[in-house]
Amino acid sequence: MSADRAAHVTASVVVPTGTTAADAVAQAGLPTHGPKAIVVVRDPGGDLRDLSWAADADTEVEPVAMDSPDGLNVLRHSTAHVMAQAVQDLYPEAKLGIGPPIENGFYYDFDVAAPFTPDDLAKIEKRMREIVKSGQRFSRRVYSSLEEAKAELASEPYKLELVDVKGDGVDTSEVMEVGGGELSVYDNLAADSDKRCWSDLCRGPHLPSTRLIGAFKLMRSAAAYWRGSEANPQLQRVYGTAWPAKDQLKDHLRLLEEAAKRDHRKLGSELDLFSFPEEIGSGLAVFHPKGGILRREMEGYSRLRHEESGYEFVNSPHITKAKLFETSGHLTWFAEGMYPPMDLEGAQYYLKPMNCPFHILIFRSRGRSYRELPLRLFEFGTVYRYEKSGVVHGLTRVRGLTMDDAHIFCSKEQMAGELKSLLRFVLDLLADYGLSDFYLELSTRDDTKAKFVGGFEEWEEATEALRQAAEESGLDLVPDPGGAAFYGPKISVQAKDAIGRTWQMSTIQVDFQLPPRFGLEYQAADGTRQRPIMIHRALFGSIERFVGVMTEHYAGAFPAWLAPVQAVCIPIRDDHVDYMNDFAASLRAERIRVEVDASDDRMQKKIRNAQQQKIPFMIIAGDQDVEAGTVSFRYRDGSQRNGVPLEEARAHVLEVVRSRANEGPSAA
RNA sequence: GCCGCCUUAGCUCAGUCGGUUAGAGCGGUGCUCUCGUAAAGCACAGGUCGUCGGUUCGAUUCCGACAGGCGGCUCCA
């Protein structure tokens, strides 16, 4: 049981034979309304049941409160139903898709003639309020047969399709509409009569009443493919959020605002870090001087760590003749992700979408001995990928990117150890940049799907080695069956940022495809020729994405060691400029990035400017400080340290920067 | 790539129901002010209203295509 869930567990109650869960909850004196209301119960089999569920034998159940993770899902799922009812009230021709709860909210898909406008959403929201207020009851009903279900759902083509999918025995566990051993429908009944207002094919469970929906808001509408496939028609998806109480909705909206303030695209231009000039093309960034410093610092520290960990640095060109990518197989399986070729002197050249083939050629440039393994080749390699126009997004999804890419060539025997130390290395390095909350995803082969390269045993061995490395890290490991590339399984490191959003960072991938394609081999101790195992890995993913993630993680207030400008000296009057220049020069001599603001702004304005630029140290001096031979610090958090002797001030800045501390600085 | 929305000064945004000189704040430049912890004052410069085409006597405004952006879907470092 997760800690999250444990915190919400209420002592179990017994539902006596022939009575309902609601009776038992009321009997136990548990809340039945308000944000902490018990909305469903968990039966001994672990399934969630409506409060109207009746026991056919004395049954011990666990009451589930609305503000628990399961309770929130129920709330949001029920709110999705309310929304669908509102939509069909207002747009009777709308056909229903699916409407599950998601993180922080829910969505529902509709087939409508025209997409929803913001005005439509406002109308839908208004209608939803009426429904919520009217206190409709959710009532479960089970279809006695497939035919009965189909007859009732005759006007809902998508629901019919779901019923049939279920009939096919396909796993539909992720579809809320159908599940378990029966087909059920939820009727919304008017509060004071048993009049049926609306129904939806659904496995439930649901809130007892719409009145329990404390707060909700429709967020946006967008198109989504039916059942997630590009080949299917697009439905209109409406996203909403729902909470047990109004304050929680407010908090959630505040969090979204906070996230918007951290948006690296916005901060990127505010802090003059990078831009995407239209003239260059979509998804192609230029880094301005300040963004350039960020990259240089990030790359520099990474280089240092790689050097210490036995990596060798290589370089490779950005374009190559087609043959290389024919050999590697990229042109057969990655062509749609590549820029089209250019014809030169009778040959076709391609921009490289990946670095691996180049590193392979370096491995193959001469005979290799087992004594050289593991051979770790590292490069900040810039690659170009033709991303579909709709997916390009800030720095996190671009068409030109620089990977901190390495390929490790090792023997089969070395693989497990190498993976283990590699994962440790990855996590340590990310932690040095201030990311510390991780989980891992293990992407494995899905045997029911596409073809795979390599034998079953190779896959097993590599997957096991990855799994062991992951497990030894002690981090949560989320399986991602079928997520592997066809040439090998992988671990990806997901990092949570300062406000809890997760980003895919590093990937560690075992490759069975390329070594044989390029005929790689080395000479073993016994004189035989062996094929090396190849591991691909990128820690930042791409420098561009990493800059974006760091920007959002720190909300632009970078740690002093990364900050493009580490200190600004602010003279209070013109005649303090020389004093500040001298002090700045003494810092600059220690490679501190320091500026003196000698503009004719008032010092309050200079502080405001430095604050907005999120500069770690503001160093101020006026008459008092000049006379005393001191300076005064103001930090980003507004805290101050006044009258610090010059030598001490200098040592303080150096200490904070050189420690690569990711917190502060602050006087606090 | 698909669906919807958006594009006016370096930035954030007004505005034009199709009609002489398109506005504001910030930012920039100049001058005045010389000031102790988040915005001193004044003045000036800056826009062929994303691009191309169409409709019209006349288009920044209406229509279309394209480019770029935003939110999703699919995909992904």
pLDDT per position as a tens digit, A424-436: 999 999 999 999 8
Give me the mean pLDDT over the A606-614 stretch: 94
* pLDDT in the model for residue A178: 58
Domain ranges of chain A: 3-65, 71-258, 290-316+355-553, 318-352, 567-658
pLDDT band at A174 (very low <50, low <70, confident <90, very high): very low
Average of per-residue pLDDT values in chain A: 90
Least confident of A448-452, A463-467, A523-527: A448-452
**What is the spatial distance, in angstroms and rounded to an integer, between the CA atom of A617 and the C1' atom of B38?**
15
Q: Give strand letter and number of the nucleotide nearest A538 (CA to C1').
A: B77
| pLDDT in the model for residue A6 | 47
- Measured CA to C1', what is the nucleotide nearest A603? B35
Residue with minimal CA–C1' distance to B31 is: A600
Q: Predicted confidence band at A8 (pLDDT cuts at 50, 70, 90)?
A: low
Distance in angstroms (rounded) separating the CA atoms of residues A40 and A543:
47
Q: Which pLDDT belongs to residue A188?
A: 93
The CATH number fitting domain A71-258, selected from 3.10.20.70, 3.30.70.20, 3.30.980.10, 3.30.420.40: 3.30.980.10
Distance CA A625 to C1' B35 in A: 15
Strand A567-571 relative to strand A617-621, pairing: parallel
Task: Supply A321's token pair.
Answer: 């003749």
Mean of pLDDT values over A418-425 = 93
pLDDT at A3 over 50: no
**Rounded-to-integer distance, Cα A570 and Cα A595, Å:** 9
Across A123-127, A311-315, A510-514, least confident range: A510-514
CA A654, A656, A660: angle at the middle one, nearest 5? 110
Which of the nucleotides lies closest to A600 (Cα–C1')? B34
Residue whose CA is minimally distant from B32 C1': A600
Residue indicated by tokens 């043959």: A323
Nucleotide nearest the Cα atom of A608 (by C1'): B38
Give the per-residue pLDDT at A181. Answer: 66
- The predicted pLDDT at position A618 comes to 96
Q: What is the pLDDT of residues A535-556, one digit of tens each?
A: 999 999 899 999 999 999 999 9
Å between CA of A118 and C1' of B75: 28
Q: Does residue A258 register a pLDDT over 70?
A: yes
Mean predicted confidence (pLDDT) in A94-121: 90
In chain A, what percentage of residues exceed pLDDT 90? 66
| Higher pLDDT among residues A2 and A653, named by residue | A653
pLDDT tens digit sequence for A279-293: 898 999 999 999 999
A48-57, A162-171, A574-583 — most confident range: A574-583
User: Are A393 and A263 spatial neighbours (Cβ–Cβ below 8 Å)?
Assistant: no
Q: Which tens digit of pLDDT belongs to each residue from A468-509? A: 999 988 899 988 888 887 788 899 999 988 887 888 899 999
How big is the CA angle at A542 (ends A536 and A543), to the nearest 5 degrees? 130
| pLDDT, position A482 | 80
Q: Residue A119 has what pLDDT?
A: 82
Residue A500: predicted pLDDT:
79
Q: How far is the CA of A600 from the C1' of B30 (A)?
A: 12
Minimum-distance residue to B38 (CA–C1'): A608
**Which of the nucleotides lies closest to A540 (Cα–C1')?**
B77
Tell me the average pLDDT across A576-586: 94
Distance CA A233, CA A4 (A): 38
- With CA atoms as reference, report the closest residue to A564 among A296, A290, A267, A289: A290
d(CA A336, CA A158): 32
Instruction: Give me the CA A399–C1' B52 separation in Å, rounded.
Output: 26
* Nearest nucleotide (CA of A505 to C1'): B77
How is residue A105 written in tokens? 């909210």
Q: How far is the CA of A280 from the C1' of B9 (A)?
A: 22
* Residues A352 and A402 sit within 8 Å (Cβ to Cβ): no
d(CA A563, C1' B28) / Å: 25
DSSP A285: -
pLDDT at A173: 46
C-alpha closest to that of A187 among A142, A148, A150, A145: A142
CATH topology of domain A567-658: Rossmann fold (3.40.50)
Kindly state the average pLDDT of the residues A378-400: 93
Whether the pLDDT of residue A175 is over 70: the answer is no
Torsion sign over Cα A612, A613, A615, A621: negative
pLDDT at A534: 94
| A323 has a pLDDT exceeding 80 | yes
Residue A638, nucleotide of least CA–C1' distance: B37
Task: Specify which residue's alpha carbon is closest to the C1' of nucleotide B72.
Answer: A222
* Model pLDDT, residue A5: 47
pLDDT cut 70: percent of chain A above it: 95
Contact A338, A386 (CB under 8 A): yes
Query: Of A48, A73, A71, nearest to A61 (Cα)?
Result: A48
The three-state secondary structure class of A64 is strand
Distance of CA A534 to the CA centre of its chain: 27
Residue A120 confidence (pLDDT):
87
Q: Is the pLDDT of residue A196 over 60?
A: yes
C1' of B40 to CA of A651 (Å): 35
- Rounded CA–C1' distance between A599 and B32, in angstroms: 15
- Protein-proximal positions, strand B, CB < 7 A: 1-5, 11-12, 27, 31-40, 67-77
Fold entry, domain A290-316+355-553: BirA Bifunctional Protein; domain 2 (3.30.930)
- Examine the pLDDT at A114 and tell me if it is beyond 80: yes
Buried b (16+ CB within 10 A) or exposed e, A173-204: eebbbbbeeebbbbbbbeeeeeeebbbbbbbb
